[in-house]
Amino acid sequence: MANSLHPSNQVQPNLFDEDLWDWIEDNETSSVSELRLKYGTEEPFHSAIAQIEAKKKYASKFKSLFESRWIFPAGLALEQSSSLATAFYKASLTTTPYSADLCAGMGIDSRALSKREECVGHLCFEQNLGLVTLLEYNLKKVYVAPTPFELKTLKNWILENNIEQSELTIYLDPDRRANQSRTFAIEEGSPNLIEIQSDLLGLAAKVVTKHSPMIDIHECTRKLEYLESIHVVQHQGECKEILTVQVPGNKEKPYLTVVQATSGQSINHSYPSSFAIPHGPLSNYIIQPSASLNKSELHDLLANLHDWKRLGVGNIYTSTTLPETSPFYKIFKVKSSFDSLKKIKLSGEYAIESIGSKITAKELRKRLRLKEGRTQKLFYLQNGRTKLIVEGLLIE
C-alpha cells in the first residue's frame, strides 16, 4: 500500500478524552499547516489535528459523524470513503440479518450496514492495523478481522454464528490502487471479484459490489455471474458509484437503476435497452442529462417516453414542451441561437460548454469575453462542418 493511503502515524483513538475534544474545539478554526508545523507528529496533537483537517475538508460529507465524535483517520482512507448518503443507499439494498464487508477501510459502509434495524451481526475485514484500531473504537458492535479478506475466516464466522445462506449479504469495495496506480477493471481490484465470486455466491443470498464510476457497465454484464441489477448512484449532481448486485441462481435479465442517493428518486429499466430517438431541429427547450444518467444510458428511455428529439451532438435533447424537473437532467429555456461566433453579441455571466468541437470552452470564453456564470449557458455544438450555438436559461 502507498504510504499516503495508510500513513505510519495513524490516529490513536485511546488518546481522546474531554480535554482533547476541548482542544480540538478551541483550535478548529486554526490553520492545519500551522498546527502541524507547531506540533509535528507529537501526540495527542497529531491525532487531534487529523480531526480538525477532516472537518475542514468534509464538513458536509460527514456532518452527523462530527456531531457524534466519530474519530477520523489520516490519509487517503478518508478521501476515498463512501459518503453517508451513498453508504445509506447500499444499506437499503440489504435486508438480511447478517452482513460482511470484505474491505472496510474507514468503515462508513460497515457503519451503515450494521446500523440497519434487521442487522443481527456484521463482520468486516481490514488489513491496516491503524484503521483496525479505529474501526474497533467507532464500530463497537462489529466484529473486525485484522487481516486482508480470507475465505476461511468468513466461513468460520458463518459457522460460529450458525448463519444460513439466505441470512447473509456480502459487500465488497475492492482496493483499486494496485501497484500505487488507480485501476478500473473488475479483475484488477483486490480481492479479485472475478476469482472469488463463485465462492461468495455459494455462501450468501446476495453479493453487492462497489465499482469505480469509470467502469464500463457492459463489462459487468459480461463478467459477473447471476447479475441481478446494476445501480448508478448519483449524489450532489455527480456520478459517485456503480453498484452491482448478484443473486445466486438468478436467470432474469438484469435491470439497471439510476438513483439519487439522498432522495431515493430513481429510473429503472431492463438492461441493455435501446431506443431509436429521431433527430430534430432546435425547439423551445434543451435537456442535458446528468453524468449518472449518461452513465446508465437511460437517457434514451426518457427521450422515448417524453418525445424528446436528439440535437445530433452528444447526448443533448430538445423538446417543444417544458419537461418535468428532475435531478437526472438539466433543462434550459432556449433564448437565442446562432450558426457562427461572429453573430454572437452577448455580455454578462455564462456557463459555456463545447461539444464535438476542437474549440474549448476556455477559448470560447476568451474570444467572447464572457464572465463565469451558472444560470445562463452557451452551448457550442458541432457535428462535422455544421455548428449550432445556443443560448439557454437554466430552469430550476
pTM of the model: 0.91
Q: What is the pLDDT of residues 327-375, one digit of tens each?
A: 999 999 999 999 999 999 999 999 999 999 999 999 999 999 999 999 9
Task: Please check the confidence at residue 182 and state whether its pLDDT lies above 80.
Answer: no
Alpha-carbon 342 to chain mean position: 41
Task: Please tell me the distance from the alpha carbon of residue 310 to that of residue 315, in angstroms, as a whole number.
Answer: 7
Written as nine digits, the cell of 252 is: 432474469
pLDDT recorded at residue 385: 87
Q: Band the pLDDT of 181: cuts 50, 70, 90.
A: low
Alpha-carbon 176 to chain mean position: 14
Which residue, among 278, 269, 288, has the nearest Cα to 355 in the 3D structure?
288
Q: Which DSSP state fits 349?
A: E
Task: Please check the confidence at residue 298 and state whether its pLDDT lies above 70.
Answer: yes
Residue showing cell 462508513: 108
pLDDT recorded at residue 5: 46
Task: Please state, as a whole number, how many other Cβ atoms lie within 10 Å of the Cβ of residue 23.
Answer: 16
Q: What is the pLDDT of residues 209-231, one digit of tens each?
A: 999 999 999 999 999 999 999 99
CB 207 within 8 A of CB 217: no
Q: Band the pLDDT of 84: cuts 50, 70, 90.
A: very high
Task: Please tell me the distance from the alpha carbon of residue 310 to that of residue 316, in angstroms, as a whole number.
Answer: 6
CB 228 within 8 A of CB 247: yes
Task: Say if strands 98-101 and 121-125 run parallel, antiparallel, or are unpaired.
Answer: parallel
Task: Please check the confidence at residue 47 and state whether its pLDDT lies above 70.
Answer: yes
Written as nine digits, the cell of 193 is: 471479484
CB 318 within 8 A of CB 286: yes
- Give me the DSSP letters along 80-106: TSPPHHHHHHHHHT--SSEEEES--TT
Measured in Å, how far apart are the chain's first and last C-alpha atoms?
A: 44
Task: Please check the confidence at residue 112 and state whether its pLDDT lies above 60.
Answer: yes
pLDDT recorded at residue 6: 46
Q: What is the mean pLDDT of the chain?
A: 93
Task: Please tell me the distance from the alpha carbon of residue 52 to that of residue 49, in angstroms, as a whole number.
Answer: 5
Task: Please check the confidence at residue 76 and state whether its pLDDT lies above 90.
Answer: no
Task: Please tell me the distance from the alpha carbon of residue 43 to that of residue 12, in angstroms, as a whole number.
Answer: 9
